[in-house]
Amino acid sequence: MKNPLIITLLGKSGSGKGTQAKFLVKKFGLEYIGSGDLLRARAQKNDFTGKKLSEVLRKGQLVPTPIITKLWLDRVEELKNKKNLKGFVMDGNPRKILEAYLIDEVFEWYGWKLNAVLVDISNKEAINRLTKRKICSACKEIIPYIGSFKNIKECPKCGGKLVQRNDDKIGPTRKRIEWFKKEVSPIINYYKKTKRLAEINGEQAIERVFEDILKVI
Ligand SMILES: [Zn+2]
């Protein structure tokens, strides 16, 4: 059987990697593993970790590696047992170098090979996009500050009022960029050293970014 296509997308907040993940899923019929989705689903459970998780997520704090890894591993096992798995895209994993090592061990177990794609934008661009993006106060749709989205005045889904999230103020935004430098840069270097990293210029039109990703996977 052909090897499944397994990609992890890395990039700062605002890089648009989530959008690119959706494009890949659609184009190749891949599965999606988003750490945000896994955590939000787990937070629905009415037990200790479920309750604590909803609080931690609400405050935007980090979730311990074993908690996220367990959820991630359950999902990976589910995919391994899927007939005719074409592959999957990971969005939001790994978040630290420790998780990158764990993922490698797991993939060795399953006999899979991981490809990493970095959607690269400068700190300046990330700050610009994050502090200028808006969220719909009604349906919570996030309107990125890229391309034609820049001119949107009300929510394209429900017509609701667009506002800035507290998390997208300059202080929290700077913190996220610092976190990326501290935690994710070592992961990027690790994948580079092991020759599994493709770097894409994320400061182009969304469609061009996707074209570049298609060239390297
Ligand atoms: Zn809306």
Tens of each residue's pLDDT in the chain, 217 residues: 578 999 999 999 999 999 999 999 999 999 999 998 999 999 999 999 999 999 998 887 889 999 999 999 999 999 999 999 999 999 989 999 999 999 999 999 999 999 999 999 999 999 999 999 999 999 988 898 988 888 999 999 999 999 998 889 999 999 999 999 999 999 999 999 999 999 999 999 999 999 999 999 9
Q: Ligand 1 centroid vs 146 CA: distance in angstroms?
A: 18
Containing H/E element for 6? strand 5-10
Ligand 1 center to 189 CA (angstroms): 39
Structure confidence at residue 61 (pLDDT): 83
The answer to whether 10 and 200 are in contact (CB under 8 A) is no
CB-CB contact of 8 with 114 (8 Å): yes
C-alpha 149 to ligand 1 mean position (Å): 14
- 200 CA from centroid of ligand 1 (Å): 31
pLDDT at position 173 is 93
Query: Which residues neighbour 179 within 8 Å (Cβ) at sequence distance 6 or greater?
Result: none
β 134-136/142-143 pair status: antiparallel
Which pLDDT value is given to residue 58? 86
Rounded to the nearest angstrom, the distance between the alpha carbon of 213 and the centre of ligand 1 is 30
Distance 94 CA to ligand 1 centre (A): 31
Place of tokens 């749709």: 141
Predicted model pTM: 0.90
Could you list the residues known to form a binding site for AMP, using ranges: 35, 40, 61-63, 165, 176
144 alpha carbon – ligand 1 mean position (Å) = 13
The confidence score (pLDDT) of residue 167 equals: 84
pLDDT in the model for residue 139? 94
Query: Binding-site residues, please?
Result: 14-19, 35, 40, 61-63, 133, 165, 176, 204
Note the CATH architecture for domain 5-121+184-216: 3-Layer(aba) Sandwich (3.40)
In terms of Cα–Cα distance, which of 101, 91, 88 is closest to 13? 91
